[in-house]
A and B are shown apart, each in its own frame.
Chain A
Amino acid sequence: MILSYFILVTVFWIVGLILWKTIYVQKGDS
């Protein structure tokens, strides 16, 4: 259960980063 917990934390990281890049990083930014 604890390992699955960390896997889910990582999944949320990936989802969050994709959302963050899509919504907040303007085109042309690095």
Chain B
Amino acid sequence: MLTDSNVLLWTVILLLIGYFGLVTWIGRKGKQHSRSMAGFATARGKVNPWIVGASFATSYASANLFIGVPGLAYQYGTAVLWYTLGCFGVSWVALLLFTKTFWRYGKKFGRVSTLPEWLGKRYNSKALQALVSILILFNVYYIVGQNVGLATIFETVIGIPYTWGIVIGVTITILYIGLGGAFAQIVTDGIQGIFMAITSVFVALSFLWTIGGGWNVFGELTSKLSAIDSNLTNAVASGGPYNSVLAIMAVQFLLFSFVLMPHLLNKVLSIETEEELAPFTLSAGIVLCIIATLMVLGGLAARVLYPSLESADAAIPMYIIEAFPAVIAAFMIVGIVSAILSSTDSLYLGITTSIGNDLYRVLAPLVMKKERSAEQLDRQALKVAKGALVAIGLLSLYFSLERPESLSILIQFSFSAIISGIIAPITLGYFWNRGNNYGAIAALITGASLYVLFTSQNLIANIYMAMFFSSIASYLVMFFVSTWTAKEEAPAYRFKKSV
């Protein structure tokens, strides 16, 4: 525990109780929208597009951006700014480029609730749909990272033991997703976005009194960092994950692809009309800019003010507690907790709807003897999704009990594995008419397996580079297999692009 302040402790506890009460109430309100699989998964047309955009940004920012990345900045200095620059700039540009086509395809295919379903329909392949939904299970590690972030905050600020922090976080998230589905998740994310934006702006403003230097506050911060270690102000760090130009470019590639993550692309499927895509994408950009680019600076300031912290991940909690009066610090801590929860709930929703919609709905008709109507199947898929919520929660709880070495690396490992598998089928699905289901399946298996091989066998130590090379291999495999099968068999294998 970093503080003995009773005011801080009780304000945080009261705010958390109020906050959890609010999200549970919204969850109950959302119950009426989550009676069908489509309503549970996307709440299409039920939420204002400005709020859906904010929800995209808040789901994007997680324990990684609010605790992990400032921790990396604390360790490696300004080179980490390449990461957050990409989180806003590169990811927003990617969102702008992908959204319209993705949405139009979704509309054309009819009722599309998840990314695996989108891919399944794009390539006319149920096998691909089921395989992508299995790949999405990697997101359990992403959830574990969020659980760890949450428990770290509870432990350092409130003094709740690590294990209990995990149990409380998992229970609350399951409760309100189970009650409200996508509706609750998108609306609460909108509220969380406001908390997170205020927290980020406060951290940046606080440099005026913690670092000093008036208008030259960032110059002052740079010179103080340089006085500790000149490597801390380099554009390319001498150690860590941002130690070469190639690694930094691979990070940008990762962040460009990151918007393809199923729990983020699901937001696009929540939009009802094409006109609503404009407020959605602008709102996502504005909120993402504020919450992605500022918090990392707190890690740099913490390095100047508290250079000998035991754990780099404690940089932000420590900075907030020391830089602000107890009541404001309490609000900001709740802001960070909400940042973590907003990602966790999207991730749960992404995995569980995928299990219900893409695994159960696809596999059940193959193994069941009795014929089921589409409506019956939909109801059962929803039941499976809600049941999976509890199962995934317990699984993530089990994995979280042993604290991982690095929160940020664990999170980035999980999403890099998924992206390595899906990047080629999605992007080539847009731009290349000849990409077919054989190519897509081969690319998915190649990308994901190579990534796991590279990282588990330590063949490529840098996770960004591992993802980059796996993705390149995946593109090549998709190109050759699609071209080969189209030539060898018949033109019928080709998907005719009709949008």
A residues engaging B (CB < 8 A)? 1-3, 5-6, 8-9, 11-13, 15-16, 19-20, 23-26, 29
Contacts and interface: CB of A to CB of B under 8 A. Distances in A.
Contact of A1 (B78, B97, B100): B78
Contacts of B277: 24
Nearest to B218: A2
Interface stretch (B85-93, B176-184, B423-431): B85-93
Given A1-B235, A9-B89, A12-B93, 7 more contacts: A1-B222, A2-B78, A6-B218, A8-B85, A13-B89, A26-B275, A29-B278
B281 to A, nearest CB: 6
A8 B235 CA distance: 13
28 contacts: A1-B234, A2-B218, A2-B221, A2-B297, A2-B300, A3-B218, A5-B78, A5-B81, A5-B85, A8-B85, A9-B88, A9-B89, A9-B289, A12-B88, A12-B89, A12-B92, A15-B89, A16-B96, A16-B285, A19-B97, A20-B96, A20-B285, A23-B96, A24-B96, A24-B100, A24-B277, A24-B278, A24-B281
Interface residues of B, number: 28
Contacts, number: 64
Q: Is the interface of B mostly helix, strand, loop or mixed?
A: helix
Contacts of A5: 78, 81, 85, 293
Nearest to A9: B293
A20 B283 CA distance: 11
Nearest to A5: B81
A20 B89 contact: no
A13 B92 CA distance: 9
Contacts of A2: 78, 81, 218, 221-222, 297, 300
A30 to B, nearest CB: 12
Contacts of A25: 278
A5 to B, nearest CB: 5
Interface string B288-301: 01000100010010
